């Protein structure tokens, strides 16, 4: 299962990278069409890919005969770290270039945060993100584990 977990991780990491690049450019495309900033941000959301990844990782591990919750948890945490590396990089790059991107947008009371502090807050949020993912992954893993078939032994 280890090799297929690595493949799933690499595929999800690549999809996240593509979404991160699209997120950089989409603000200009979406704003010119009159679509709200919230909807545009959601369309290019690394978090959506991360949630899909959570379900895929924990469900695959739950279905595997040798599957273990902590194995899925490790891959989930690695994917969560990768997602935050992309987000933090986007925030810092947008601040450095002065580009108007979805990385430079912030909601409500956080609009006054300096970009470096905004980026650091995502690093701290990683702990909460990982914990929430572990909690959400638990029922996905156990539901799929209950659905895994037991091996039938031939009569001797």
What is the pLDDT at residue 108?
Answer: 43
Question: Mean pLDDT per 10-residue run, the chain (156 residues)?
Answer: 81 91 75 71 80 95 91 95 90 80 57 77 89 96 81 49
Q: Is-contact 41 31, C-beta < 8 A?
A: no
Per-residue pLDDT, 94:
80
pTM given for the model: 0.81
In 3D, which of 84, 96, 80, 90 has the Cα closest to residue 123? 84
Q: What is the pLDDT of residue 2?
A: 59
pLDDT at 115: 78
The predicted pLDDT at position 82 comes to: 95
| pLDDT at residue 102, as a whole number | 64
Closest CA to 59 of 152, 148, 153, 149: 148
């Amino acid at each position: 299962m280890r090799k297929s977990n690595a493949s799933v991780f690499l595929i999800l990491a690549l999809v996240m990278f593509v979404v991160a690049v699209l997120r950089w450019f989409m603000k200009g495309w979406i704003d010119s069409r009159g679509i709200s900033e919230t909807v545009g941000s959601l369309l290019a959301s690394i978090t959506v890919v991360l949630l899909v990844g959570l379900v895929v990782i924990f469900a695959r591990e739950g279905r595997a005969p040798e599957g273990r919750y902590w194995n899925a948890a490790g891959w989930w945490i690695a994917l969560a770290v990768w997602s935050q590396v992309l987000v933090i990089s986007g925030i810092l790059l947008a601040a450095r270039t002065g580009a108007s991107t979805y990385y430079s947008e912030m909601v409500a009371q956080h609009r006054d945060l300096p970009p470096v502090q905004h980026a650091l807050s995502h690093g701290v949020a990683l702990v909460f993100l990982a914990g929430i993912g572990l909690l959400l992954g638990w029922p996905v893993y156990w539901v799929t584990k209950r659905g895994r078939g037991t091996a039938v032994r031939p009569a001797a």
